[in-house]
Amino acid sequence: MVAVPASARTVLDDQDISRALTRITHEILEKNRDADDLVLLGVPTRGVHLAQRIAAKMSQVEGRDISSGALDVTMYRDDLRLQPARSLEHTDIPDDIDGRVVVLIDDVLMSGRTIRAALDALADHGRPRAVQLAVLVDRGHRELPIRADYVGKNLPTSMEEKVKVRLAEIDAEDSVTIEAVGEGGQA
Amino acid sequence: MKHLLSAGDLSRDEAVRILDTAEELLGVARRPIKKLPTLRGRTIVNLFFEDSTRTRISFEAAAKRLSADVINFSAKGSSVSKGESLKDTALTLQAMGADAVVIRHSASGAPHRLAHSQWTRGAVVNAGDGTHEHPTQALLDAFTARKHLGGDLAGRNITIVGDVLHSRVARSNALLLNTLGANVTLVAPPTLLPVGVDAWPVQTSYDLDASLEKADAVMMLRVQAERMNAAYFPSAREYSRRYGLDVARMNRLQDHAIVMHPGPMNRGMEISADVADCERSVIVEQVTNGVAVRMAVLYLLVGGQTDDTGPDTSGSTENIHSDNEGAR
């Protein structure tokens, strides 16, 4: 439960988030034609909830059950030695991913390091035919050659700002805010 | 958590964190590639002054699944048999750059000495010291019991039977299971209960049959013939008849109750072969879980930022934080 600080500027409200996810859902289906081959994997923690929402929307559109999973990337991060050992999140891969199209889903894309870790983790689980990336917010400041296939909102930010995604499942409300703080924000 | 020396050092939160981490790491064994890159470039030394097969290979498998470099050191055929002291062995290992030392020693307290001596700056994991403790065995036992008993051990009754006197497994389990909220009952002949057991957070009994019906898990301990240098019980047959788990006794357990044994088993002594191989028995699963639990311990001890202070800067307990990336 994080209260929204007074200095925060809301850039997406619950309606905007819902519309963005609906659009991403349709874009994924449009690009891949056939949802049979798709495996939706969220990156914990908020990516998992976004993946569940996209899977629910996709089920509606396609008229059948489509599930999503979770891929924890903690053990593959490149900054493990910079802080005390982190707790692991749950990994749950619903199907065999060999030869399938995996769509990774995360809340904020910044440096690209989390996605780099996710690609490594994925390679240890199998060999997907293709990997695509969907993010709710792309805030720039890439440090690796990684780009998203589906973007909810491009949000040009400075490093002094912090982008905070809140989702009703864990934060009691849906919103994306920009806060002006010194710390670097999310990757 | 810098070292893992005693199960009693773990708070409830720390213990649950290890078990939850192990839960996730258990999945690694089911993947096509059973390896994580997390401890790449770390060196883990298995320092075994006492015979052990399963604990050593379990630690070795755990370290290798995390991509650590593993150095196995056993006292037999080493410089220890030429009279080298623990200190000199430790200094040698330190000079080789060990990030963690997994130690088994016949002397109770040897891991504690190693951890607090400044001889090595790596994390020290107790893999069994004398008749004192064996914390990772307790963690894997708790992990296994928790999986079978609905995810939480609070309020569960766990009966530990046999040679408690010589059992570091029993001591570590009593401490850890108590921390996790379980009710522990130790059952043993009076000669095989340690002095001062009334200070342990457990109940004790001399009668196995009276402790069976309420038990959610029964843990049989190995009768340690190599430590039986006095007449602790009249004969093996009498021990087996009074304290061995056979089919008749097993049938009196509750339907959901499980049978555990830390291994190696003396079939026909503390546990009959029928019981060891029955479906209630989780003995083989304990071995699988052991690797996951040891992976969790090694990850939590050396997977993140570690203290890089040298052993010779004695007196300074302040951590000098520097990542090891510069060395590459």
Dump the DSSP string for A19-72: HHHHHHHHHHHHHHS-GGGEEEEEPTTHHHHHHHHHHHHHHHHHTS---EEE--
| ipTM, 2 dp | 0.87
Give residue B328's pLDDT. Answer: 31
Distance from CA of A111 to the nearest CA of B (A): 19
Among B66, B323, B324, B328, the strongest candidate for a mutation testing the A interface, having the largest count of A CBs within 10 A, is B323
Does any domain span residue A6? Answer: no
Domain with CATH 3.40.50.1370 in chain B: 7-133+287-312, 135-283
Does any domain span residue A171? Answer: no
| Mean pLDDT, residues B10-31 | 94
Give residue A72's pLDDT. Answer: 95
Does any domain span residue A177? Answer: no
Higher pLDDT: B302 or B319? It is B302
Question: Which pTM value belongs to this model?
Answer: 0.90
Q: Please, which pLDDT band fits residue B323 given cuts at 50, 70 and 90?
A: very low
The answer for residues whose C-beta is within 8 angstroms of residue A128's C-beta and 6 or more apart is A39, A97, A98, A99, A100, A101, A102, A122
B308: pLDDT strictly greater than 60: no
> Percent of chain B scored above 90 by pLDDT?
72
Higher pLDDT: B19 or B52? It is B19
Does any domain span residue A10? Answer: no
* DSSP code string of chain A: --PPPTT-EEEE-HHHHHHHHHHHHHHHHHHHS-GGGEEEEEPTTHHHHHHHHHHHHHHHHHTS---EEE---GGG-TTGGGSSPPPPPP-B--S--TTSEEEEEEEEESSSHHHHHHHHHHHHH---SEEEEEEEEE----SSS---SEEEEE----TTEEEEEE-HHHHSS-EEEEEE-SS----
Report the residue of chain A nearest B324, measured CA to CA.
Answer: A81
Q: Check if the beta carbon of residue B136 is closer than 8 Å to that of residue B293.
A: yes
Mean pLDDT, chain A, integer: 91
* Candidates A72, A80, A87; nearest CB to B17: A87
Q: Give the pLDDT confidence of B227-278 residue by residue, as tens digits.
A: 776 678 888 889 999 999 999 999 999 999 999 999 899 999 999 999 999 9
* Candidates A75, A83, A86; nearest CB to B36: A75
Mean pLDDT, chain B, integer: 89
Q: Chain A partners of B36 at a C-beta cutoff of 8 Å?
A: 75-76, 124
| Mean pLDDT, residues B303-328 | 45
* Rounded CA separation A13/A18 (Å): 9
Cβ–Cβ gap B24/A125 under 8 Å: no
Q: Chain A partners of B324 at a C-beta cutoff of 8 Å?
A: 81
| Mean pLDDT, residues B111-127 | 92
Q: What is the CATH number of the domain that holds A72?
A: 3.40.50.2020
Superfamily per CATH, domain B135-283: Aspartate/ornithine carbamoyltransferase (3.40.50.1370)
A72 touches chain B (CB under 8 A): yes
Q: How many domains does chain A have?
A: 1
CATH architecture designation of domain B7-133+287-312: 3-Layer(aba) Sandwich (3.40)
B311: pLDDT strictly greater than 60: no
Higher pLDDT: B322 or A10? It is A10
Q: Please, which pLDDT band fits residue B317 given cuts at 50, 70 and 90?
A: very low
Cβ–Cβ gap A82/B323 under 8 Å: yes
